[in-house]
Structure 1
């Protein structure tokens, strides 16, 4: 597998995600550019798994920019719901087409999960995990995948004002507070994304 050096395209149009990934890779001498800054189109995420969707985005960016590219796909998997919402994690927070990302209703999405768990019964298994897949792709078609998870359980009602998405109802294993209650730095240290990045850095840079 070729090693990352020089420029790397981050297959995202999200400036916040670009900053986060750039900070993680900067110590290794990698310069990150975003697909948004390069004007690359966003491919349709037609996969049925996190791995498939991450690879779709990474390969599309690598081909379009003729540079190595990194993409991620992540979500919440509730064990009693057969792994749902999974790759449809964001879709459960429905929005109107004109509202953009900020129009997603995450409280409604959390409520959908809780409603389905309540339908199963009061003794339902409330365990869940967040999953993150990081996919690297090279212009010649080469690829590498690194998967990270953080195990935990769901609580109700939502608690905390930090974090985003389903963070207010997710309690990581061994903790008492939700992801939306703990310090963001602590969350980043134990998160599914941190797990996946540790594996990527070890594979690419021997760290």
Structure 2
């Protein structure tokens, strides 16, 4: 069972405007349960979007296979292969543009960013990650966006996980922050380039997602 570091907070009500907000670091906050009431709609959209641009496991530039599966929507999507990490306008599997970012997603992400103190956030790319059993994400920085003035907004759906929150250098020991279904994390400003990742996903089953976790991360990518 994952430890609950936020057991002193009131129960989440699923409303971004009133859900409990906790500071993680300077410029970074957790909005506990902020999108719970939107979860079924978001998951329905994920099924539709990934029917157009299927989830896939990407290779790192060094040849390693990522354990989480990924797809994207928006004007650009994130890809990784032997040529490196980058954003591009077309899905390499199909050669077609990525599916459009749903307006309701953009509105939720903007509301979450505003609640965290980042007014005027307009995402133009969303990464859709699916974590199955033991899938993880190593410590990394989000550096490919080209615009570090905008925050990253992250939605968690399904199984609980441990979010690894580091610092400005890879050598800093990360904190392990439990994230549960409906949680939102927003980071920017002083912590925009902090290292972060996901610990291996424990076994379990969620009523809406089965044995996996979905993560939506909203970004503003400079063309």
Shorter-normalised TM-score: what interval? under 0.3
More strand by share: 2
Ranked by relative contact order (alpha carbons within 8 Å, sequence separation 6 or more), the top structure is 2
**TM-score, length of structure 2 as denominator length:** 0.26
